[in-house]
């Protein structure tokens, strides 16, 4: 049985949920409450010493880091593929995914916002400005590339969802928490977001539909 | 001719330089001075709309995002390999690389430290504390994994350098700017760092040996 350590609101866990759903792989969720600090409990650190979610238990392995586990799923279960067939296509899709996974998400995740509030005593306005600063930079880059590059199709790359879409959608959900409408000025992201959310694999993975969801 | 847009002190560009050297690929460097803001010049944004280094021009393509370009180099030039032959091995190496590329580096890079100083008016002490907080978390996770996991060899994975080493070494150079000795408490990282730096491909890629290096 595949087991996913997850938290409804974690963007990285959301990526893993979408990937498992797209591959048609059933999994047993194990809930790690990030705001209660369960990711730093001895029990969880024994599973994942990095103290982060998600963790994926599969094929007798314990995998950390969402991009690494998504590439693993793609290598072990190649259909439907998350990456194009050519090295050039794969580089494009990975680079789009990394705009989210390296340039936006790490700067805006819960532990960084917690440090800004707790240690640097930033107020709510400063937190909102911080959040929007980084997300605006990253989403502007994504909109520019996706609107101009000819490889963009119904999804980030051609006409089937893949690694870039898997990263993009959770980041847009996250953005909506600090920005009422991050998509109005970004028509290509909006179009791709809607195409993704029309798919059951994405819809079923969204935070509000998880068993551990909170209002 | 391969062209790399680089800045001597950029960790992500340092990764790309190591990767090109390990593959034995000669390249022409084009220097983008991050502290002078050249990455946001119209000329550079026309090359890379993300406004970040490195950018790699190769095979008629323009690639952004260091991990994506390193995987591209590995796919097009498979010898010596940057990733193990098995999906499990590849997931392990990618996850080690992503501890650096997703959990440490993005929070501590120049643009984030610039925002802390310029907008949030953090003083030097607060910047140092911020830096060390994130690097300590990430390096502790790496030391814990590399010291315990049986796949660790002379390098992060077995006895040849790969993607994880390519990410680790620039991060350790970076760490030394804010922490006199980040390696004393981390014997496994220290051992692997020294094994890497004994290789010409790593040594030649280091910041101080770049044509654009400054004191």
Which residue segments constitute the domains of chain B, with CATH numbers given? 2-80 (3.40.30.10), 87-202 (1.20.1050.10)
- Confidence tier at A181 by pLDDT (50, 70, 90): confident
A14-63 pLDDT tens trace: 999 999 999 999 999 999 999 999 999 999 999 999 999 999 999 999 99
Q: Which of A67, A103, A130 sits opposite B94 (nearest CB)?
A: A67
A-chain residues near B94 (CB < 8 A): 65, 67-68, 71
ipTM of the complex model: 0.98
Average per-residue pLDDT for chain B: 96
Q: Confidence class of residue B73 from pLDDT cuts 50, 70 and 90? A: very high
Predicted confidence at residue A215, as pLDDT, reads 86
pLDDT at A149: 98
The pLDDT, as a whole number, for residue A177 is 86
Task: Please give, rounded to a whole number of angstroms, the shortest distance from the CA of B90 to a CA of chain A.
Answer: 8
Report chain A residues whose CB lies below 8 A from the CB of B102: 65, 67, 101-102, 105-106
In the prediction, which pLDDT does A180 show? 75
Edge-first strand listing for the sheet containing A55-58 = A27-31, A2-6, A55-58, A61-64
Comparing alpha-carbon positions, the chain A residue that sits nearest to B78 is A87
- 3-state per-residue secondary structure call for chain B: CEEEEECCCCHHHHHHHHHHHHCCCCEEEEECCCCCCHHHCHHHHHHCCCCCCCEEEECCEEEECHHHHHHHHHHHCCCCCCCCCCHHHHHHHHHHHHHHHHHHHHHHCHHHHHHHHHCCCCCHHHHHHHHHHHHHHHHHHHHHHHHHCCCECCCCCECCCCHHHHHHHHHHHHHCCCCCCCCCCCHHHHHHHHHHHCCHHHHCCCHHHCCCCCC
The proportion of chain B whose per-residue pLDDT surpasses 90, expressed as a percent, equals 96
* Mean pLDDT of all residues in A1-8: 97
Best B68, B141, B151 member to test A by mutation, with max A CBs in 10 Å, is B68
Report, as an integer, the average pLDDT of B142-148.
98
Q: Which residues of B touch A65 (CB under 8 A)?
A: 94-95, 98-99, 102
Q: What percent of chain A has pLDDT over 70?
A: 100
**pLDDT tens sequence across B101-144:** 999 999 999 999 999 999 999 999 999 999 999 999 999 999 99
Task: Tell me the shortest Cα–Cα distance from B68 to chain A, in angstroms.
Answer: 5
A75 contact B CB<8A: yes
pLDDT of residue A210: 98
Q: Which of A75, A107, A115 sits opposite B106 (nearest CB)?
A: A107
Please calculate the CA angle B81-B87-B88 and round it to the nearest 5 degrees.
Answer: 105
| Chain A: closest CA distance from residue B206 (Å) | 22
What are the φ/ψ torsions at residue A18 (nearest 5 degrees)? -60, -45
Q: Is the pLDDT of residue B180 over 80?
A: no
Q: What is the pLDDT of residue B9?
A: 96
Cβ neighbours of A72 in B, within 8 Å: 87-88, 90-91
pLDDT at B84 over 80: yes
Q: Which residues 102-131 of A have a C-beta within 8 angstroms of B?
A: 102-103, 105-107, 112, 115-116, 119-120, 122, 126, 129-130
pLDDT per position as a tens digit, B21-64:
999 999 999 999 999 999 999 999 999 999 999 999 999 999 99
Output the pLDDT for position B181.
Answer: 83
Q: What is the pLDDT of residue B156?
A: 98
Would you say A91 and B69 are in contact if contact means Cβ atoms under 8 Å apart? yes
pTM: 0.98
Residues of A in contact with B164 (CB under 8 A): none
pLDDT band at B89 (very low <50, low <70, confident <90, very high): very high
Q: Tokens 């994405």 label which residue?
A: A202
Which strands form B61-64's sheet, in the order they lie side by side?
B27-31, B2-6, B55-58, B61-64
Contact by Cβ (8 Å): B90, B121? no
Question: Does pLDDT of B210 surpass 80?
Answer: yes
* Whole-number pLDDT of residue B142: 98
B69, B91, B130 ranked by CB distance to A69: nearest: B91
Q: What are phi and psi of B176, to 5 degrees?
A: -65, -15
pLDDT at B6 over 90: yes
Mean of pLDDT values over A99-115: 95
Q: At what angle do helices B124-148 and B110-118 cross, to 10 degrees?
A: 150
pLDDT at A182 over 90: no
Contact B72 A61 (CB under 8 A): no
Place of tokens 């936006």: A104
Which residues from B are below 8 Å from A126, CB to CB?
Answer: 120
Q: Which residue, B19, B104, B108, B31, is CA-closest to B66?
A: B19
Phi and psi at residue A5, to the nearest 5°: -80, 120
Neighboring chain A residues of B11 at a CB cutoff of 8 Å: none
Q: Does B72 touch chain A (CB under 8 A)?
A: yes
Query: Which chain B residues touch A119 with a CB distance below 8 Å?
Result: 129, 133
Residues A119, B105: C-beta atoms closer than 8 Å: no
Least CB–CB distance from A115: residue in B91, B102, B133 = B133
pLDDT tens by residue, A184-198 = 999 999 999 999 999
Interface test with B, best of A98, A120, A147 (most B CBs within 10 A): A98
Residue of A nearest to B146 (CA): A49
The owner of tokens 């993975």 is A205
Is some CB atom of chain B closer than 8 A to the CB atom of A69? yes
pLDDT, chain A, mean = 96
């Amino acid at each position: 049985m595949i087991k996913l350590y997850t938290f409804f609101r974690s963007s990285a866990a959301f990526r893993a949920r979408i990937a498992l759903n797209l591959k048609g792989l059933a999994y047993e969720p194990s809930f790690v409450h990030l705001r209660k600090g369960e990711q730093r409990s001895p029990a969880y650190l024994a599973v994942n010493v990095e103290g982060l979610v998600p963790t994926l238990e599969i094929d007798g392995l314990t995998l950390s880091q969402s991009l690494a586990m998504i590439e693993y799923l793609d290598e072990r279960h190649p259909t439907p593929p998350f990456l194009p067939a050519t090295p050039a296509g794969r580089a494009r899709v990975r680079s789009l995914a990394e705009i989210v996974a390296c340039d936006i998400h790490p700067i805006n995740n819960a532990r960084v916002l917690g440090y800004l509030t707790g240690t640097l005593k930033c107020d709510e306005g400063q937190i909102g400005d911080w959040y929007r600063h980084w997300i605006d930079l990253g989403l502007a880059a994504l909109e520019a590339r996706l609107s101009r590059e000819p490889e963009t199709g119904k999804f980030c790359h051609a006409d089937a969802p893949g690694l870039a879409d898997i990263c993009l959608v959770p980041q847009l959900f996250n953005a909506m928490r600090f920005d009422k409408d991050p998509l109005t000025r970004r028509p290509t992201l909006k179009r791709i977001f809607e195409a993704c959310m029309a798919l059951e694999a994405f819809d079923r993975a969204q935070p509000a539909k998880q068993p551990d969801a909170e209002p």
